[in-house]
Amino acid sequence: MDLVSIEKALVEEIAIILAVPVDADTDLLADAGLDSFGTMQVIVFLEEEFGIQVPEDQFDINQFASVATIAGWVLPLVSAAEPAN
């Protein structure tokens, strides 16, 4: 899984969650209205879609500022969860 694939999946899911179009650079907190409930929905999506566990001790709302920010934060978790070839 690469960064572009993660961003694409997030753009599609977050647009559904927020019922507004978003792109990788949309300010989700200020412009798109991502709130605590929406953030939890995004976390559930990440865990189910990518087979990861989002560590509570690493959670920071600023990590949800944009799709690009989320994807950059999640990529190492996804890479670690992928089976070795």
Question: In this predicted model, what pLDDT tens digit does every residue of 9-59 receive, in sequence order?
Answer: 999 999 999 999 999 999 999 999 999 999 999 999 999 999 999 888 877
- End-to-end CA separation in angstroms for the chain: 13
What does the alpha-carbon distance between residue 77 and residue 47 come to, in Å, rounded to a whole number? 10
- Tell me the average pLDDT across 74-82: 91
Q: What is the pTM of this model?
A: 0.91
Handedness of CA 11, 84, 81, 70 (dihedral sign): negative
Radius of gyration for the chain, computed over Cα atoms and rounded to the nearest angstrom: 12
Q: How far is CA 49 from the centre of its chain?
A: 10
pLDDT at 8: 98
